[in-house]
A and B are shown apart, each in its own frame.
Chain A
Amino acid sequence: MDLTRMTAAELGAAIAAGETSAVEVTQAHLDRIAAVDDRVHAFLHVDTDRALAAARAVDERRGTGATLGPLAGVPLALKDVIVTRGIPTTVGSRILEGWIPPYDATVTTKLREAGIVVLGKTNMDEFAMGSSTENSAFGPSHNPWDLDRVPGGSSGGSSAAVAAFTAPLGIGTDTGGSIRQPAAVTGIVGHKPTYGGVSRYGLVAFSSSLDQAGPFGRTVLDAALLHEVMAGYDPMDSTSIDAPVPPVVAAARLGGTGDLSGLRVGVVRELSGQGYEPGVEAVTRDALARLEKLGATVHEVSCPSFGYALPAYYLIAPSECSSNLARFDAVRYGLRVGDDGVRSLEEVMSLTREAGFGPEVKRRIILGTYALSSGYYDAYYGQAQKVRTLISRDFAAAFENADVLVSPATPTVAFPIGERANDPLAMYAADLCTLPASLAGLPAISVPSGLSEGLPVGLQVIAPALADDRCYRVAAALEADHGHPLTEEAPAL
């Protein structure tokens, strides 16, 4: 039995039943990391000692006869944007060099309480700005399907880890597509919850009104099990929703029966056509046919404002980031450059930010600073907020006749490392499909829908706010129809 090939649900059950131990499971994944991560580079920091200690604690609890949660003892790869007490948190940036957080994110606390074993912190585009991990200050991660290609981004370290079988579960964060796009191009499941569904306390902010953490798994059920652990109201986050967590695990099990009778699926016309690879469109058409075969009715819907999503996003997210990233000023934590006792405070701040931030982060800080400037605010930030309202209205209208909306999760399969690194607009286009749901705060999942020339394609399923369970149900049905997790078709590393 290769423990690294098992799903999280299987591992949790095996540990609870005493068929294996959390320490064995953790060690197996640490061994796998040692064997392949020099090629994948999913991890920035492997937390071996603490991971094994956490696993031992789970085994001891089991030894006392305590009832374990479904994921107790199951290892996980945590995106390095989530704050972990006592463990470095870099956000993929030099600016936080040397910072050891003195507190835990709410998500981190929930993982620990569930007995989930955090193997380490994963690579990401700096401050979650990017779609390939090439903007990481610590070098890119590699797509396990083709090591010369990107694993998506910004949560590409976590997606690569799950796809490379170095962790059965991963956590990413999604601001404009940073969970769904990496999930799609690595052939795994990734879900962006309803905005406010998962606490942002301890998630280092990129764009506060968009950021949302969510689960990665190789199966829909695994992602749902992790979703239930992560989600829920948190009084430490004012934007957290005080409502019950949607029944995502039940929905994943229900979808797993392969019956979608009565489900109305709307296909978003605007998320297809120019800019979409023929192979991606072919796999998507096939997925739609399979949904119909499973009992769903499929019809086209139009969301005319979606064409403005990308420009609106690239005003709102940089505006918020220009303010959120102001705190990295060398005064209290992280990098400090040029503090020779002679230079002024302003010079030290400038030198530190010059040295500590990479080019994409600087580009967005400048974009956002400009967009919020006196005299430009209404034309840029104000206008972008109006677009956001229009997009929400388009969704509301579409959901009058549809239970879920679908589209490709990405316009293309994983692109080669280096191909778009110097072309920001081409890089931004990778999030074309995922931006509308981000701007509207809606839940959306990416589920593997097939291969195009040997590389994974994801289908995006979007649901109304707080109806995350619908995403899981549809995704699980599609997965059941395929018969096995797509990652089983990945070439051996």
Chain B
Amino acid sequence: MTTLESTVDRVVEVAGRYDPVIGLETHVELGTVSKMFCGCPTTFGAEPNTQTCPVCLGLPGSLPVPNEVAIESTIRIGLALHCDIASWCRFARKNYFYPDMPKNFQISQYDEPLCTNGYLDVTVEGRTVRVEIERVHLEEDTGKSLHVGGATGRIHGADHSLVDYNRAGIPLVEIVTKPVAGTGALAPVVGRAYVTELRELLRSLGVSDVRMEQGSLRCDVNVSLSPAGSGVWGTRSETKNVNSLRSVERAIRFEMGRQADVLDRGGRVVQETRHFHEDNGRTTPGRSKEEATDYRYFPEPDLVPVAPDPAWVDRLRTTLPELPAERRARLAGELGATDFEMESMANAGVVELVAATAAAGVPAAEARNWWLGYLTQKANAAEIEPADLAISPEQVARVIALVEDGTLSVGLARQAVDGVLETGADVDTVVAERGLRRVSDVDALAAAVDEAIAAQPDVAEKIRGGKVAAAGALVGAVMKATRGQADAKTVRELILRKLS
């Protein structure tokens, strides 16, 4: 049994012997004003059970009425994913008992989804992978349970449970890929790139706020391995609730390693659902499919079939906004970026941030460097997405402008960014309050240089003797004295001139 998170090297090694096949099921909470089957608001974070009514509480006698905006959003998602849109389909009941499901069935879609047979292209290491979409369907979200007491946070072993029905009935779109094969060691990155691209697409459609940390975008990841070249797919595991882009990649990596261990020992991979643990990047078994519930799907008799007018669907098709792939192609020209640079930006989730920063009037190359470099580092350190950093593209542009006009050195600029991230204040305030101003005035620096020379006469003597490399110690002293605000190059020149 693998005890540690699989490394990238391990994945390369596994992919040499086994062909991985991945599949992703993504749940997207739509950003509609009201719920799927009633008029309750959908605001995130309200007091528990304040956004409920007889319908979303499933009180006896209540009936669902579909939210037309949710149906429209689902069709737009399907169109953006190049799907066929059903001319007639029905909702179905998925029956199982769970306390956060008010009716003990979920209104979903079964064999008649709204959208089928689409695709989404992603680019990884210069290679375009077409991820085929099996189906896109619409359903209602469940409530949220909080199991109090017990070790696992799950219902078994809990002292008691609290249920919040605010989320119950929020429209949820499920997007299911077909199995993606043939990506080898890239499988974990392809999985991540797909979710990243899907999220950009959903954001561009304006149908969801796609915030993984709030659960408005949630992923289940299926992985199987088969002996290389055998062409026979292996048994898959289904890892539930993988809720960050980074986790998607880690979960696939871990499952590849774990399943390879099982197969290497001559064992059999069990078809089961597994839980992903953010803290250590591992998965552990959930319930096995052998004891799976029979959901007893049947057409929802409280709702009439959905039959979208083809003319309306055409209108939705022609009024789709510019999609991320098209937009990137256009931006590549505007930003003067290469294909590789665009891919890097797309997979880091910073294309829009770079574009917005450049649009604020600074060179695109600088914007790209900042977002792919220092800002991505800061985001990774905080385990959040770059877009969720507490700094706006406009603020980043201001930082760049201050570097461009010589006010800040790169080092000072990073301090300014840190200040913005820490305090939430704007760049100019941080610069003013922390006194972050490059000292390039030679007279002002001269005094500091003299002090440094006086303080370290032995070093000064070495430099006079021709050991120019020794100047670094004096430059460091000056930089320290000026709290980094001096320009190191200017300081160095001053020192050498004085001691020549």
The answer to whether A and B assemble together is: yes
Instruction: Using CB atoms and an 8 Å cutoff, list the residues of chain A in contact with chain B.
Output: 82-83, 89, 91, 96, 99, 101-103, 105, 200-205, 207-209, 235-239, 319-320, 322-323, 326-329, 331-333, 344-346, 349, 369, 372-374, 377, 381
Chain B residues, Cβ within 8 Å of A328: 60
A202 touches B304 (CB 8 A): no
**Residue contact B103 to A326, C-beta cutoff 8 Å:** yes
Check A200 against B63 for contact (C-beta < 8 Å): yes
CA distance A373 to B295 in the complex (A): 8
Q: What separation, in Å, do the CA atoms of A89 and B62 have in the docked complex? A: 14
Chain A residues whose C-beta falls within 8 Å of the C-beta of B301 in the assembled complex: 207-209, 239, 320
Interface status of B16 (Cβ within 8 A of chain A):
no
> Is A345 within 8 A of B296, CB to CB?
no
Please give, as numbers and ranges, the residues of chain A lying within 8 Å of B374 by CB-CB distance.
none
With a cutoff of 8 Å between Cβ atoms, the chain B residues found around residue A83 in the complex are 59-61
Enumerate chain B residues within 8 angstroms of A329, measured Cβ to Cβ: 97, 99, 104
Partner of B58, one of A102, A207, A237, A327: A327
Cβ of B4 under 8 Å from chain A? no
A333 nearest CB neighbor, chain B only: B59
Q: Across the interface, do B61 and A326 meet the contact criterion of CB distance under 8 Å?
A: no
Beta-carbon contact of A236 and B63 below 8 Å = yes
B-chain residues with CB within 8 Å of residue A99 when the two chains form the complex? 60
Q: How far is the CB of B254 from chain A (nearest CB, A)?
A: 31
- Check if A345 sits within 8 Å of B103, measured CB to CB: no
Could you say which residues of chain B place their CB within 8 Å of the CB of A323?
93, 95, 105, 296, 298
Residues of chain A within 8 A (CB-CB) of B66 are 238
Q: How far is the CA of A205 from the CA of B102 in the complex (A)?
A: 15
Structural contact, A327 and B298, CB atoms closer than 8 A: no
Interface size grouping (class) on chain B:
20 to 34
- Assembly CA distance A96 to B61 (angstroms): 12
Q: Collect the chain A residues with CB atoms within 8 Å of residue B102's CB.
A: 327, 332
Q: How many A-B residue pairs have CB under 8 A?
A: 101
Structural contact, B64 and A238, CB atoms closer than 8 A? yes
| Residues in B152-185 with C-beta less than 8 Å from chain A | 155-156, 161, 163
Q: Do B302 and A372 touch across chains, with their CB atoms under 8 A apart? A: no
Closest residue on chain A to residue B37 by CB atoms: A238
Whether A202 contacts B93 in the complex (CB less than 8 A), given A326-B103, A326-B105, A374-B294, comes out as no
In angstroms, Cα B104 to Cα A246, docked, is: 37
Chain B contact surface mostly: loop
Having A205-B60, A377-B297, one finds 15 other A-B pairs with CB under 8 Å, namely A82-B61, A105-B61, A200-B63, A202-B62, A203-B61, A205-B302, A209-B301, A236-B65, A238-B65, A322-B296, A327-B102, A328-B60, A333-B59, A372-B298, A377-B298
Residue of A nearest to B302 (CB): A208
Query: Closest residue of chain B to A127, judged by CB?
Result: B60
Contacts of A238 in B (CB 8 A): 63-66, 302-304
One of A101, A319, A331 near B99 (C-beta < 8 A): A331
CA of A185 to CA of B279 in the docked complex: distance in angstroms?
A: 70
Q: How far is the CA of A326 from the CA of B295 in the complex (A)?
A: 13
- How distant is the Cα of A327 from the Cα of B168 in the complex, in angstroms? 14
A377 to B95 Cα, complex, angstroms: 14
A344 to B158, CA, bound (A): 9
Within 8 A of A (CB), among B375-434: none
B95: A residues at CB distance < 8 A: 322-323, 326, 372
Q: Chain A nearest CB: distance from B163 CB in Å? A: 7
CA distance A349 to B66 in the complex (A): 30
- B264-287, CB under 8 A of A: which get 1 and which 0? 000000000000000000000000
| CB-contact partner of A331 in B54, B64, B163, B303, under 8 A | B163
Most buried by A among B62, B103, B156, B294: B62
B57 sits at the interface (CB 8 A): yes
Chain A positions within 8 Å of B54 at CB level: 102-103
Q: Which residues of A contact B304 (CB under 8 A)?
A: 238-239
Across the interface, which residues of B come within 8 angstroms of A105, CB to CB? 61
A101 and B60 CA atoms in complex are apart in Å by 9
Decide if B63 touches A326 in the complex (CB within 8 Å): no
**Which residues does chain A contribute within 8 Å of B93, judged by CB atoms?**
323
Question: What 0/1 readout, one digit per residue, does chain B (296-318) give for beta carbons within 8 Å of chain A?
Answer: 11100111100000000000000
Q: Are A201 and B62 in contact (CB under 8 A)?
A: yes
In the assembled complex, the Cα of A198 lies from the Cα of B102 at a distance in Å of 25
Contact of B59 among A101, A235, A349, A369 (CB under 8 A): A101
Q: Which 3 A-B pairs have the closest CB atoms?
A: A326-B104, A208-B301, A372-B296
Distance, CA A221 to CA B104, complexed state (A) = 42
6 A–B contacts from the bound complex (CB under 8 Å): A204-B61, A236-B63, A323-B95, A327-B104, A372-B95, A372-B297
